[in-house]
Amino acid sequence: MECNLKNSTIYYETYGEGLPIINLHGFTLDHRVLKGCMEPIFNERNKYKRIYFDLPGMGKTKAESWIKNSDQMLEICIEFIKRVIPNQRFLIASESYGSYLGRGIIYKEPKYVEGALFICPVMKAVQNERSLPEINIPIPQPNGKMSDRYKKEIQAAVDIANTAFLDKLAEQGYLFSFNIDEKTKRFEKPSLFLLGRQDLTVGYRDAWDIIEKYSHATYAILDQASHNLQIEQEHIFNILVNEWLDRIESSLSNKKS
């Protein structure tokens, strides 16, 4: 499906009905990276409307010349959400750069967000400011199933990304114009941070800097997991995401009673 916004057209897919989950993928990827890891969980759960969409310049969403920075990417995300689920509360499931945008949504629209999942989140937009593991640590090697998923959910998206557009944004406008984590007030909804012990892209230490901002957050650092944690540790990923959803359902139930 396509959603026509003021100055762009967004490709998206929806599955199921119920509490909306907005899925935000990483840089150079597309909706398939989160669809691949999240949809199997909902084979056993209903009452959720899963919304997967492609950011500009990625997947099936066209790059727009006027988009120069992450501030504008964030505004597109918020405009898209308001268009497809107007005035509705929702969850955020995000990965890498999508988690950077996701925290931006929490800052801009806190009253609508009922919970957040951050998979290998970008915490520091400037790469040389990130605390990364030792570069010589062993990186998980994919087996047959992992390799198939990597090709379908990651490489297939990278192959069609608009690299000229994304390279320019990465060089000139990746960083928000404001410090997102300093400005965000305490987020008291159920949250989950999933971090890879061998993640050489964003690391795992920086996420701890905001632990006091997320008062109902579970933090998990998984061994044998790099920046594709959801593929490399599928079993543990499923357990922890299900537990996050359990906490959300309990929180919403308590709110009603």
Per-residue pLDDT of 23-35, as tens digits, reads 999 999 999 999 9
Lowest mean pLDDT among 106-115, 141-150, 166-175, 218-227: 141-150
pLDDT band (50, 70, 90) for residue 141: confident
DSSP 155: I
Q: Mean of the pLDDT values across residues 164-176?
A: 97
Q: pLDDT tens digits, residue range 6-52?
A: 999 999 999 999 999 999 999 999 999 999 999 999 998 999 999 99
% of the chain with per-residue pLDDT over 70 = 100
**If we measure between CA atoms, which residue out of 123, 83, 92 comes closest to residue 3?**
83
- What's the CATH architecture for 2-256? 3-Layer(aba) Sandwich (3.40)
CB contact set of 17 (below 8 Å; sequence gap of 6+)? 47, 49
pLDDT band (50, 70, 90) for residue 255: confident
Q: pLDDT tens digits, residue range 196-254?
A: 999 999 999 999 999 999 999 999 999 999 999 999 999 999 999 999 999 999 999 98
Average pLDDT, the chain: 96
Q: Mean of the pLDDT values across residues 126-139?
A: 87
Cβ neighbourhood burial of 91 (10 Å; 0-12, 13-18, 19+): buried
pLDDT at 257: 67
pLDDT at 53: 99
Lowest mean pLDDT among 62-66, 76-80, 144-148: 144-148
Distance, CA of 177 to CA of 162 (rounded, Å): 23
pLDDT at 161: 99
**CA atoms within 13 Å, Cβ hemisphere of 37:** 32
> pTM for the full model?
0.97
Paired tokens of 162: 């608009």
